[in-house]
Amino acid sequence: MTRDDPFGGMASSRLARTYYVDGGGNRDSKLRNLLREDYGSSSLYLRMFQEDVGHMLPWRSGSSADARFVVTLEGADDSTRQLVLDSLPGRNGPPRILEDGIRDFVEATSRDLTLGPSHFEVVFFSDDAGDLRSFAFEPLMAKSVSRSRRRVIQMVPAEPGLPTRRGIPFVELDPARIITIELPRPLRRALSKAVPLWRAAANQSLRGTDLLIDHTRGYDFKVQQRLIADQLLRSTAKIGWSGRDLLTEATLDPYKVARHLNFVSFQIEVRNAIVAGLQRGLDLAGTKIGFKVKLGLDQVVTLDDVEQAKADLNAGTQHIGALMRIER
């Protein structure tokens, strides 16, 4: 067991498979089609949104060892804290500090959540004596998992002897160890309305070039962009995302701030849903291994902060530039 591989030499309870969507081993076109919907989106707006929504916890400044927010683990001693740190999948290998691990997990999961529920498997590691020593959260590709009341299956590339569903092979997972994270219903509804629009808008913007080349009568690029922006802003008020100001270019400063604050609210709700899912995973792992901790985040923007910012905007008691900088 090393810092880079905290689970070395231990037996894993992992059932899910890891594979690449377009990897050499995956020649199953049905599976590729199913999964590409998640990751192969050609929509400019959707891709930008997925990137932006993940940026909800601040990065460390430069080479500083200190995070700009604090992860609290109530009831955890040093060894439990280390266990939790080891359980988190890092962006580039195991995270060095808890804050990095939580931020990477939240960021990766938030992208999945834009398209539907996100799942991760709680994997336990036991020593030679069969005692549970450690655990890990293993994210699963969102669309590869299908969950019913009693079963959880993962669609995987073809292997001899695997059962299939609608022509796609799958493996059975342990429902008790699969944690599913879902956004609150209003946010899910807002996203299910917005995502097709972002896709459609990106396509229509691309079509604009063809219309220009063809000298289509009456076509006006600026008018088209204004109408697209108008429609997108109108349909995504709950989410608040402004397409990196592409959509709000011709709007007033207070509106830009209000959209920004709405988007920060959205991000906070996504963050809260992910942290709640992680807590469920920790509760499960704690029950098995023998610890009880409560995960929390400090020094992060809360919904109360956003409400206060909205009140400040209305009353004119805060500089507009400062309100635009409220984030994460």
What 8-state DSSP symbol labels residue 226? H
Q: Is 219 in the site for another protein (CB under 8 A)?
A: yes
- Least Cα distance to 140 among 25, 50, 49, 35 occurs for 35
If one counts every other C-beta atom within 10 angstroms of the C-beta of residue 313, the result is 17
CA distances from 225 to 93, 205, 220, 250, 254 (A): 42, 7, 9, 11, 21
Q: Tell me which residues in 22-41 interact with another protein (CB under 8 A).
A: none
Handedness of CA 113, 69, 315, 320 (dihedral sign): negative
Residue 166 beta carbon to another protein: minimum distance, rounded to whole angstroms: 24
In degrees and rounded to multiples of 5, residue 146 shows phi and psi of: -125, 125
Q: Is 319 in the site for another protein (CB under 8 A)?
A: yes
Query: Which residue lies nearer to another protein by CB, 206 or 303?
Result: 206
Angle at the Cα of 325 from the Cα atoms of 323 and 328, rounded to 5 degrees: 115
Span from 30-38, 105-113, 152-160, 209-217 in contact with another protein (CB under 8 A): 209-217
What 8-state DSSP symbol labels residue 89? P
Among 35, 67, 153, 258, binds another protein (CB under 8 A): 258
Q: Is 189 in the site for another protein (CB under 8 A)?
A: no
Quick note: the x/- pattern for another protein over 226-245, rule CB under 8 A, is: -xx-xxxxxx-x--------
Span from 76-84, 216-224, 263-271, 287-295 in contact with another protein (CB under 8 A): 216-224
Span from 90-98, 150-158, 246-254, 267-275 in contact with another protein (CB under 8 A): 246-254
Q: Is 250 in the site for another protein (CB under 8 A)?
A: yes
Span from 2-10, 32-40, 99-107, 224-232 in contact with another protein (CB under 8 A): 224-232
Helices 185-213 and 221-235, interaxial angle, to 10°?
Answer: 170
Residue 269 beta carbon to another protein: minimum distance, rounded to whole angstroms: 18
CA distances from 163 to 99, 116, 158, 172 (A): 40, 25, 9, 9
Residue 304 beta carbon to another protein: minimum distance, rounded to whole angstroms: 20
Q: Which helix (H) or strand (E) holds 74?
A: strand 70-74
Among 142, 191, 197, 268, binds another protein (CB under 8 A): 197
Q: Tell me which residues in 275-314 interact with another protein (CB under 8 A).
A: 313-314
Q: Residue ranges of the alpha helices (H) in 26-144?
A: 29-39, 44-54, 78-87, 98-113
Round to whole Å and give the CA distance between 86 and 80: 10
Q: Residue ranges of the alpha helices (H) in the chain?
A: 29-39, 44-54, 78-87, 98-113, 185-213, 221-235, 253-289, 303-315, 320-324
Among 218, 290, 298, 304, binds another protein (CB under 8 A): 218
Handedness of CA 106, 192, 120, 288 (dihedral sign): positive
Q: Is 74 in the site for another protein (CB under 8 A)?
A: no
Q: Is 252 in the site for another protein (CB under 8 A)?
A: yes
Span from 84-92, 159-167, 251-259, 294-302 in contact with another protein (CB under 8 A): 251-259
CB within 8 Å of 211: residues ≥ 6 apart: 219, 224
Span from 62-70, 86-94, 252-260, 263-271 in contact with another protein (CB under 8 A): 252-260
Handedness of CA 77, 80, 84, 86 (dihedral sign): positive
Residue 301 beta carbon to another protein: minimum distance, rounded to whole angstroms: 20
Query: Which residue lies nearer to another protein by CB, 20 or 255?
Result: 255
Q: Is 207 in the site for another protein (CB under 8 A)?
A: yes
Residues near another protein (CB under 8 A) = 193, 196-197, 200-201, 203-208, 211, 214, 216-220, 224, 227-228, 230-235, 237, 250-255, 258, 313-321
